Amino acid sequence: MPTSAEVLRRTGGQRLKTVLFTETAIAHRVAELGREITAAYPDGELLVLGLLKGSFIFLSDLVRKIERPLQIDFLVASSYGSGTTSSGDVRLLYDPETRLEGKHIVLTEDIVDTGNTLRKLLGILKDRQPASLSVCALLDKAEMHAPMSEVRFVGFVAPKAFLVGYGLDHSEDFRHLPFIADLK
């Protein structure tokens, strides 16, 4: 657990409410998720598709724990402005260049919050006829959305809080933190 002084140094003096998931806990769970994905996809073409920007750190650590050949691509969607809640207006800003048809796709997401962005993206991806489509989310606020069968791999169940760190941001700040904390 980082000390208060370490947190303040990393955040430029901004206080966070509490650290919920430590760097060690995240590393352990990401390794487990890598093993789960390796076991779930023993053959066929595997594409790990990262939803930017929030998933980039998680995806980077995750793909190094998946012990089989895979491809990586990204997409960018936006549903947040500078606030702390989703706007509900989902915009696709970058579409993957990789062919999706016939591949096992694992969409990697930093956090499933309301599920609005994810539902839209799953519809778009399903139309491209992958062999299979699942979601690997580092965090899932499961009590905030209806169940989605595609959310197959989950790192941690997250509380109703605005979380930052390990790729998650508030107005582009805090992504670099090696832990996940509740923004005060």
User: Measured between alpha carbons, how far is residue 156 from residues 46, 73, 102, 142 in Å?
Assistant: 23, 24, 30, 10
Q: Residue 65: inside a domain, yes or no?
A: yes
Q: Residue 145: inside a domain, yes or no?
A: yes
Reported pTM: 0.86
Active centre residues (catalytic): 113
pLDDT (tens digit, 0 to 9) for every residue of the chain, 184 residues total?
A: 666 666 555 666 566 788 999 999 999 999 999 999 999 999 999 999 999 888 999 999 999 999 999 999 999 887 655 555 555 566 678 778 788 999 999 999 999 988 888 888 898 899 999 999 999 999 999 887 878 889 999 999 999 888 999 999 888 888 999 999 998 7
Q: 37: domain range?
A: 23-80+87-163
| DSSP assignments along 15-66, one per residue | -EEEEEE-HHHHHHHHHHHHHHHHHH-SSS-EEEEEEETTTHHHHHHHHTT-
Q: Domain holding 62: CATH number?
A: 3.40.50.2020
Name the domain count of the chain: 1
The phi and psi torsions of 40 (rounded to 5 degrees) equal: -75, -25
Q: Residue 171: inside a domain, yes or no?
A: no
Q: Residue 52: inside a domain, yes or no?
A: yes
